[in-house]
Chain A
């Protein structure tokens, strides 16, 4: 059974750095073709793809947010971490992690429940 769960602060002050952790089970990120992605959704708005890391430690970032994002993995802990610097109120959103397989680009077949992050002073 594949599960993913996002964790991190619910409230972040402007200009600070956000660190989110995706803890997953039911698959290994060391398996060829596996990947984990971060996707966010501002309240009432559409999904926005942020970043992806694959089994081979290749990393892909949204062009518009590339300078602010870092994605990394800890295969032994079954975790993927996303950091986003210089947070702004417009970054208020629910942040999801999701699994992909079969190599990138791919679809996202399992999603976490999401973590709402509010950026406010």
Chain B
């Protein structure tokens, strides 16, 4: 069971907007630690998608955005495209565990 909770799956039609939630607690997200998001295409290594809650690395389309509030964070994807079909993971730091933690991952299906 992951410290950060994500929905196992989400889906949307091309062009639509989807959001993926990441729920933590007072020892991680709620303690003010940053949330980062990764995209993992089938058979490949994870790729940093959002860092520091809201920032996009160079080359990541602005269709991807992140937000954080209280003990939760969210990843939003607008203008959904077939190539967005992948697994998405949130990551933060947990002070009780004194280490990095990942969410359980969310599989995005583009209908």
Do the beta carbons of B51 and A109 come within 8 Å of each other? Answer: yes
CA of A96 to CA of B38 in the docked complex: distance in angstroms?
14
A63 contacts partner chain B, Cβ-Cβ < 8 Å: yes
Do the beta carbons of B46 and A47 come within 8 Å of each other? Answer: yes
> Nearest Cβ distance between residue A112 and chain B, in whole angstroms?
7
| Chain A residue nearest in CB terms to B55 | A107
Given contacts A105-B33, A105-B93, contact A111 B45 (CB under 8 A): yes
Please tell me the number of chain A residues within 8 Å of chain B, measured between CB atoms: 22
Cβ of A46: which chain B residues have Cβ within 8 Å of it? 2, 89, 102-105
| Chain A residue nearest in CB terms to B93 | A105
B85 contacts partner chain A, Cβ-Cβ < 8 Å: no
CA of A60 to CA of B52 in the docked complex: distance in angstroms?
21
Contact with A along B45-78 (1 / 0, CB 8 A): 1111001100001000000000000000000000
Do the beta carbons of B102 and A48 come within 8 Å of each other? Answer: yes
Cβ of A105: which chain B residues have Cβ within 8 Å of it? 33-34, 92-93, 100
B41 contacts partner chain A, Cβ-Cβ < 8 Å: no
Among B47, B51, B102, which residue has its beta carbon within 8 angstroms of that of A49? B102
| Chain B residue nearest in CB terms to A62 | B99
CA of A60 to CA of B101 in the docked complex: distance in angstroms?
13
Residues on A facing B (Cβ under 8 Å): 37, 39, 46-49, 52, 60-63, 96, 98, 105, 107-114
Residues on B facing A (Cβ under 8 Å): 2, 33-34, 36, 38, 44-48, 51-52, 57, 89, 91-93, 97-105
Query: What are 23 inter-chain pairs, A to B, with CB distance below 8 A?
Result: A46-B2, A46-B104, A47-B46, A47-B89, A47-B102, A47-B105, A49-B91, A49-B99, A49-B100, A49-B101, A60-B98, A61-B99, A63-B99, A96-B46, A107-B34, A107-B52, A108-B36, A108-B91, A109-B48, A111-B46, A113-B44, A113-B45, A114-B45
